Amino acid sequence: MSHAQKGPLYLTNTLTRRKEEFIPLRPPHVGLYVCGPTVYSDVHLGNVRTFTTFDLLYRWLRHLGYTVRYVRNITDVGHLVGDVDEGEDKIAKRARLEQLEPMEIVQKYTNGFHDVMRLFNILPPSIEPTATGHLIEQIEMVKRIIDAGYGYEANGSVYFDVPKFAEKHAYGELSGRRIDELQANTRDTEGMDEKRSPLDFAIWKKADPTHLMKWPSPWGEGFPGWHLECSAMSTKYLGQTFDIHGGGMDLKFPHHECEIAQSVAADGHAPVRYWMHGNMLTVNGRKMAKSEGNGFTPEELITGNHKLLEKGYSAMTVRFFMLQCHYASTLDFSNAALQAAEKGLERLMAAMDVLDKLKPAPAPDAAQDEAVKALAQRCHEAMNDDLNSPVLIAELFEGVRLINSANDGKVLLSAAAISGLQELFRAMVFDVLGLKREAQAAADDKALDGLVQVFIQMRAEAKARKDFATSDRIRDQLAAMGIVLKDTKEGTTWQRA
Amino acid sequence: MSHAQKGPLYLTNTLTRRKEEFIPLRPPHVGLYVCGPTVYSDVHLGNVRTFTTFDLLYRWLRHLGYTVRYVRNITDVGHLVGDVDEGEDKIAKRARLEQLEPMEIVQKYTNGFHDVMRLFNILPPSIEPTATGHLIEQIEMVKRIIDAGYGYEANGSVYFDVPKFAEKHAYGELSGRRIDELQANTRDTEGMDEKRSPLDFAIWKKADPTHLMKWPSPWGEGFPGWHLECSAMSTKYLGQTFDIHGGGMDLKFPHHECEIAQSVAADGHAPVRYWMHGNMLTVNGRKMAKSEGNGFTPEELITGNHKLLEKGYSAMTVRFFMLQCHYASTLDFSNAALQAAEKGLERLMAAMDVLDKLKPAPAPDAAQDEAVKALAQRCHEAMNDDLNSPVLIAELFEGVRLINSANDGKVLLSAAAISGLQELFRAMVFDVLGLKREAQAAADDKALDGLVQVFIQMRAEAKARKDFATSDRIRDQLAAMGIVLKDTKEGTTWQRA
């Protein structure tokens, strides 16, 4: 499908706070960068929402025919506790607690992150670079920032000079902060023996001798500042200016604001044309956080093993639930909403089963051919309207009603209408929304046991009426299928041969 | 289980060509490094065998109670076509062919590698470092080699001076090559305008301006030599001398020989105490290679979609087949051998099902308690004898005979004997051999259909004899379980409700 075929794509650019037509720099290529996880602990569901949002964007851009280079990083050094410039590295701290080498922590939680991404059917990015894998690129960028006059060394660390940068450039444009207000309001004294202004941030930090994660640099042994990696890696793989940068809303300031400043300072270009931010997940109206005791993990969600969960919900139920809400809105996580999503997803999948088997009516209603085309167009427009997945899903339920009516013989669909619906549902449900059938295995196991129990009951009844021909026949037929009945004092059980 | 409890572990050290008692440097810690894949193409089955071998080692060391730091690298730069010092980087070449950025190639084939590892139930290592993630460490190592007098710069590249190194140190010890014979036999002229001796190898290569994968260094823009990354990364994560280094036999020379020389030159220590090498996989007696047309992928193996395969084999069948052969022997891959392995694995798994349900005999044979203990001891000794998995599997089949005899009432086992067998089989089959139940879903689906077909037949018979009470009852009972029968002209079909 061509990207020009069905009208333009509009995205809300958080830099301009407007819905804008998306025009890539070098079509059919699109460069997309999304801030990935800091791999020091289990992924929580808020992260899953963010990555689901950008998975939806990635899938939609591909559906439109773009060749997307999707870069999503792994932060494995430089992210300090409290997201500040002083204190312990989050990964080093966890390594100390778990008595492991920092890179063992990185591997463990990277593997865990990938498992969760796979569980939620979130596609892997084209490139998944790590901060430790790009130290040279970061050191080179620090040099360029210093050379441009916006970085200064102090005691083996290098800081970005925010007030000096703000004299000539917009600082705070993305987050809507004003430099004078920031200066008036700051009570931040960390690193003030080294920093010229409390607004300055570290782009290279000196490491003390006990630090495990450190590398040689022109300023001595140290490690990169947290904000730097994304600038260095997006520049390396997507160029000095690229199409779309995404992340969770909490990263707007200071992280993304600093990314802009770093790129402008080092290379003289605004790095990103379209900024996109996903909104937060709340639980029963309260912010999800570990400290609140409501930040359950994907595993707890699936098993239902958490005090706030009435039952377990499948990964696809949760994905569907998330996509029923627009990415820019907050989403509240409640049992009632999850259970409604579970039912909705079942209805959608059941309709797709019906659709697979639907036969054309002998005398189809030609008007329905147009109705199916119009439905497909509305689905497309919903996604082109800033990825409006809730509207897309509502349109798909219009389709569900049509499918069920056709199955009941109340609507007469032609072969063309049926194949149009099949193409639409496959594309939108599987490719774009990224939903998939699941848990069939568990369901089959239950069904199998149910059937065997019916045989066991029939056999007992046949025995009771002394119809041994029938009871033996049932036993033999099951045995032929590898199901062995065993009569015990407690009744008849079965097992596989 | 303590590692001292049941006798010492012996491993064949390919450096000394002898079976030696394994004594770790810093018990209970063990440092293990294994050369991972160069991620420029799909993994082939020979690679899978190598990684299965070291997975078995990793699992056995953990079973013995060691805390293992298992480092297995990803080679994502520096490995040139033909494994030589001149020519194109394997990844850069593939990137050109697929019209992708080199790091997109790296990501694609790293993901594919991980998928295959998961398929074969090969555990992830503790740390999976990449060559591009350790450029600074490699540059530092080149500096140390130059400082020690064993490296020289020529035209922006740096070479390792093999003849000079060999004057004072053993070179060729691992691979059994003699420096004078190597010198006499070499006809290698690549890079001879820069190399002092044809035996020298690149530790840093100058990159031409069109090269995409290059980094600044004290010798100009370039990239590390292939042999260097393993030395730099093993030193970083396991220390200058560590316990075990493994890899495929084809890596002994020059790769591992060069690793030893680099570490001795840079840091003055032999890097590895125990070298281990896995043997090759052949197909119908011929070496597996893409050029021979017999190098099938794991996917072809599972689907059976290859001219040399009579049918598909499950990943666990292949894993079991590989483990039935000692890692140091060549293994020939044939349909007959695979089919035998398939049957053997089924027998093993079926016995484990029986074992799960086995009840103690009312008057058990006390001698069997000792027999089970002796069996467990023999299993343990087999693995302690240089990971002799074929002997372990043969012992487990002794256990299978015992289990089946007990199930038939021919052998009378106590509760202790049964739980001893259960513990042994769970530990050896699942934890150590890394086998798992699979394809249950597919089997269930087949069984389910088989059962429903029996019901359909019974219902047809009931209808034929006008016993509508029975035929309706069958239909209703199935419907209650979500299985809907549909009578058509072609007969009765079923579907899920």
A6-28 pLDDT, tens digit each = 689 999 999 999 999 999 999 99
The helix/strand/coil state of A182 is helix
Contact B107 A130 (CB under 8 A): no
B203: left (phi over 0), alpha (psi -120 to 50) or beta: alpha
With beta carbons under 8 A apart, name residues in chain A contacting B130. 130, 133
Residues A263 and A292 in one domain: no
Domain extent, residue A177, equals: 10-278
Specify the pLDDT at position B187: 66
Instruction: Using CB atoms within 10 Å of the CB of residue A118, give its burial: 0 to 12 exposed, 13 to 18 middle, 19+ buried.
Output: middle
Same domain, B152 and B75: yes
Q: Is A132 on the interface with B (CB under 8 A)?
A: yes
- Probe site for chain A from B119, B136, B437 (most A CB atoms < 10 A): B136
pLDDT for A221: 97
Indicate whether B137 pLDDT > 60: yes
Q: Check whether residue A330 and residue A270 sit in a common domain.
A: no
B80: number of Cβ within 10 Å: 21
Among partner residues B107, B127, B477, which is closest to A126 by beta-carbon distance?
A: B107
Average pLDDT score over chain B: 91
Average pLDDT over residues A367-396: 98
- State the pLDDT at residue A153: 98
Note whether B132 and B214 are same-domain residues: yes
- Cβ contact A124–B111 (<8 Å): yes
B69, A101: Cβ pair inside 8 Å? Answer: yes
From A14, A15, A13, A33, select the one nearest A23 (Cα to Cα): A13
Tell me if chain A has a CB within 8 Å of the CB of B215.
yes
pTM for the whole thing? 0.86
State the best of A33, A91, A101 to mutate against chain B, taking most chain B CBs within 10 Å. A101
B197 falls within a domain: yes
Size of interface A-B (CB pairs under 8 A): 109
According to DSSP, the β-strands at B29-34 and B67-72 are: parallel
pLDDT score of A50 = 96
Counting residues of chain B whose pLDDT is more than 90, the rounded percentage is 70
In 3-state terms, what secondary structure has residue A306? coil
Q: How is residue A15 written in tokens?
A: 């830099």
CB pair distance less than 8 Å for B451 and A452: yes
Q: What is the pLDDT of residue A112?
A: 95
A117, A357, A448: best to mutate for the B interface, most B CBs within 10 A: A448
Chosen domain end from A228, A244, A278 = A278
Query: What residues 216-235 of chain B have any CB closer than 8 A to a CB of chain A?
Result: 216
Provide the pLDDT for residue A496.
64
Tokens of A343: 């039912």
Give the pLDDT score at B439.
55
Which position has the higher pLDDT, A254 or B188?
Answer: A254
- Report the alpha-carbon angle A53-A58-A61, nearest 5: 125
Query: What would the two tokens of residue A79 be?
Result: 């992210």
Task: Verify that B426 and B461 share a domain, yes or no.
Answer: no
Q: Is residue B406 part of a domain?
A: yes
Q: Does any CB of chain B come closer than 8 Å to the CB of residue A445?
A: yes
What is the pLDDT at residue B308? 87
A88-92, A349-353, B133-137: the lowest-pLDDT one? A88-92
- Rounded to an integer, the average pLDDT of A418-435 is 97
* Domain-embedded: residue A66: yes
Q: Which residues of A touch B441 (CB under 8 A)?
A: 440-441, 444
Query: What's the pLDDT score for residue A295?
Result: 78
| Cβ–Cβ contact B67 with A under 8 A | no
Contact map slice: A 259-288 vs B, CB within 8 A: none
Is A451–B481 a contact, with Cβ atoms under 8 angstroms apart?
A: yes
What gap in Å lies between CA A286 and CA A295, rounded to an integer?
10
A191 pLDDT band (50/70/90 cuts)? low
**pLDDT at residue number B454:** 80
In this predicted structure, the answer to whether residue A442 has a pLDDT above a threshold of 60 is no
Does any domain span residue B297? no
Indicate if A340 and A233 belong to the same structural domain. Answer: no
Q: Using pLDDT thresholds of 50, 70 and 90, give the confidence band for residue A4.
A: very low
Tell me whether B477 touches chain A (CB under 8 Å). yes
Identify whether residues B191 and B230 lie together within a single domain.
yes
Weakest mean pLDDT among A297-301, B136-140, B351-355: A297-301
pLDDT per position as a tens digit, B22-67: 999 999 999 999 999 999 998 889 899 999 999 999 999 999 999 9
Residue B174: predicted pLDDT = 95
Partner A contacted by B20 (CB < 8 A): no
What pLDDT band is residue B290 in, cutting at 50, 70 and 90?
A: low
Q: What is the pLDDT of residue A494?
A: 75
Task: Confirm whether B293 is domain-assigned.
Answer: no
**Total number of domains constituting chain B:** 3
The count of C-alpha atoms lying within 13 angstroms of the C-alpha of B332, restricted to the half-sphere facing its C-beta, is 7
Residues B88 and B135 reside in one and the same domain: yes
Q: pLDDT digit string (tens) for B85-122?
A: 888 899 999 998 889 999 999 999 999 999 999 999 99
Q: Smallest Cβ distance to B126: which of A104, A132, A441?
A: A104
* pLDDT band, residue B1 (cuts 50/70/90): very low
Cα–Cα distance for residue pair A97/A102, rounded to 1 Å? 11
User: In the structure, what pLDDT confidence band is assigned to residue A471 with cuts at 50, 70 and 90?
Assistant: confident
Do both A34 and A171 map to the same domain? yes
Name the A residues in 294-333 with CB < 8 Å from any B CB.
none
> Do the Cβ atoms of B63 and B432 come closer than 8 Å?
yes
Q: Work out the mean pLDDT of chain A and round it to a whole number.
A: 91
Q: What is the pLDDT of residue B486?
A: 80
Q: A193 falls in which pLDDT band (50, 70, 90)?
A: confident
ipTM of the complex in this document: 0.84
Please give the pLDDT value at position B488.
77
Q: What percent of chain A has pLDDT over 70?
A: 94
Residue at A101 is within a domain: yes
Q: Are residues A89 and A20 in the same domain?
A: yes
- CATH number of the structural domain spanning residue A165: 3.40.50.620
Q: What is the mean pLDDT of residues B481-494?
A: 77
Residue in A closest to B347 by C-alpha: A497
Give A 85-104 residues with CB within 8 A of chain B.
Answer: 100-101, 103-104
CA separation for the pair A156, A204 (Å, rounded): 8
Answer whether B28 touches A (CB < 8 Å): no
Map chain B to HEC letters: CCCCCCCCCEEEECCCCEEEECCCCECCEEEEEECCCECCCCCCHHHHHHHHHHHHHHHHHHHCCCEEEEEECEECCCCEHHHCCCCCEHHHHHHHHHCCCHHHHHHHHHHHHHHHHHHCCCCCCCECCECHHHHHHHHHHHHHHHHCCCEEEECCEEEECHHHHHHHCCCCCCCCCCHHHHHHHCCCCCCCCCCCCCCCEEEEEECCCCCCCCECCCCCCEEECCCHHHHHHHHHHHCCCEEEEEEEHHHHHHHHHHHHHHHHHHHCCCCEEEEEEECCEEECCEECCHHHCCCCCHHHHHHCCCCCCCCCCCHHHHHHHHHCCCCCCCEEECHHHHHHHHHHHHHHHHHHHHHHHCCCCCCCCHHHHHHHHHHHHHHHHHHHECCCHHHHHHHHHHHHHHHHHHHCCCCCCCHHHHHHHHHHHHHHHHHHCCCCCCCHHHHHHHHHHHHHHHHHHHHHHHHHCCCHHHHHHHHHHHHHCCEEEEEECCEEEEEEC
- Split at pLDDT 50, 70, 90, the class of A453 is confident
Q: Are residues B60 and B139 in the same domain?
A: yes
- Determine the residue among B143, B444, B449 to mutate to test chain A binding: the one whose Cβ has the most chain A Cβ atoms within 10 Å: B444
- Chain B closest-CA separation from residue A128 CA (Å): 7
B353–A454 C-beta distance less than 8 A = no
Q: By CA distance, what is B107's nearest residue in A?
A: A127
Q: Please give the pLDDT value at position A2.
A: 41
Residue A156 scores a pLDDT above 90: yes
- What is the distance between the alpha carbons of residues B126 and A111, in angstroms, rounded to a whole number? 10
- Asked if residue B222 is part of any domain, the answer here is yes
Asked whether residue B393 falls in the same domain as residue B459, the answer is: no
B441 vs A: CB within 8 A: yes
Write the residue in A125, A454, A496 that is nearest to B477 by C-beta. A454
Chain B closest-CA separation from residue A75 CA (Å): 13
A318 within domain boundaries: yes
Contact B101 A237 (CB under 8 A): yes
Taking CB atoms and an 8 Å cutoff, what residues of chain B touch A357? 495
The 10s digit of each residue's pLDDT in B141-193 is 999 999 999 999 999 999 999 999 999 999 999 999 988 888 887 766 656 68
**pLDDT(A187) > 70:** no
Residues in chain B with CB shorter than 8 Å from the CB of A440 are 441
